[in-house]
Amino acid sequence: MLTPIVFTTTSKSRPLMILDGYLYTRDRRTDTKTYWHCENQKSLNCHYRLHTCNSTSTETHILILKQTGTHLTSCNRDLIKITLRKFRKDVLDRTKSTQETTNAVLSQCSSKLPDPARIKLPPLDHIKRTMQKQRKRIDLPPAPNNMDFPCIPTILQTTKRNDNFLRIDTDPEFAPTWSPRIIMLAFEKAVANVLSNNFPQVCLSGCYFHLRQSIHRKLQEQGLQKKSEDDVGFAHGIHKMAALAFINPNDVINAFADVSTHLGDDFQRCVFQCSHSTLWKFIDKLILEEDSQIHTKIARVNAEEPTTKKKKYEYLDKRLLNLVLNPHQNVIDQISGLAHNIIL
């Protein structure tokens, strides 16, 4: 029978298993078995041990082959300690896999920590210093400010599965053989400027998914996510900003001005700030998205899995389409109606 567990790491990056509130350090491993002992083996002389099967173990479940000994009464389940272990692993994983600022990583990882765990956190400067040391090991060169840079860093040339991600390096010349008609992109002004300058004939289209994602991320960064969940009026106001995507392009600027005059300071703080990316961050984000979404979708298509959409989203799509085809005469009423059918 498989037993649910959680894997994390020690401060020295050794495997650590969490089971029933107890922590186990990996002792040794053979071709068929892994031997674990209580984390308090040395400090409290606890001799409780586990043997697990390698062939049936996953990231979330294990098959326990043998248990020996009993935990000491002093080996009490410390949920705060376990929470902090998970927090440390999340911070290091996010530091390795993204190029977010240390403040952004720390904010994202600590947002769900309960107060008792926050009290026992190391000084925040120490956590940031650990993150910065981890970043130095990745050894990425400084992000370039123009197109005259030697090459894409090796770590950004492959996918998370070690497949070839960089197909061609054109040096400073920007994609000389490309002649696209439409390019869909996220809302980064610098990227849009480069594309429009190099492809004057191209039609640039903003990705609606990334628009909603960026709004949602900004809510989290500004500490307003809970307010958007609890305050219906506030959430509806946020949805109005996403609803601007469905307004006639000729009317968007005026509609934006009309909506912004009805929004309070929290909206101004949440919506009207932006952060600028770098080329390395952009490539890193592409690699993460390729691994987490695009590759999964390709695999499902290759397996001939039918693509379906949840009924509630089909219903919302029909309502949005009806509003776009039959808009209200008043633009504020139109935006409000659209916002009722938007989910971030």
Please tell me whether residues 126 and 10 are part of one structural domain. Answer: no
Say if CB 52 and CB 65 are below 8 A apart. Answer: yes
Q: What is the pLDDT of residue 35?
A: 92
Please tell me whether residues 329 and 221 are part of one structural domain. Answer: yes
DSSP three-state, residue 30: coil
The torsion angles phi and psi of 44, rounded to 5 degrees, stand at -120, 0
Please tell me whether residues 114 and 217 are part of one structural domain. Answer: no
Say if CB 37 and CB 63 are below 8 A apart. Answer: no
- 296 part of a folded domain: yes
Please tell me whether residues 52 and 109 are part of one structural domain. Answer: no
**Domain end marker among 46, 68, 90:** 68
Tokens representing residue 47 in the block: 């001799």
**Domain end marker among 43, 68, 93:** 68
Please tell me whether residues 56 and 94 are part of one structural domain. Answer: no
Please tell me whether residues 299 and 321 are part of one structural domain. Answer: yes
10 Å CB burial of residue 236 (0-12, 13-18, 19+) is middle
Q: Characterize the bridge pairing of strands 182-185 and 203-206.
A: parallel
Tokens representing residue 99 in the block: 């190029």
- How confident is the chain (344 residues) per 10-residue block, as mean pLDDT? 80 81 87 89 87 86 88 78 85 82 84 83 85 73 71 79 76 69 83 84 86 82 81 85 88 84 61 57 72 67 72 85 90 89 82
Residue 307: which region, alpha, beta or left (left: phi > 0; alpha: psi -120 to 50)?
beta
**Domain end marker among 98, 115, 135:** 135
Print burial letters for 294-332: b (CB count within 10 Å at least 16), e (below 16): eeeeeeeeeeeeeeeeeeeeeebeeebeebeeebeeebe
Q: What is the pLDDT of residue 242?
A: 87
Q: How many residues does the chain have?
A: 344
Range of the domain at 124: 80-135
Tokens representing residue 73 in the block: 């009464």
* Number of Cβ atoms within 10 Å of the Cβ of 92: 17
- 142 part of a folded domain: no
Say if CB 188 and CB 276 are below 8 A apart. Answer: yes
- 156 part of a folded domain: no
Number of domains composing the chain? 3
Q: What is the pLDDT of residue 265?
A: 58
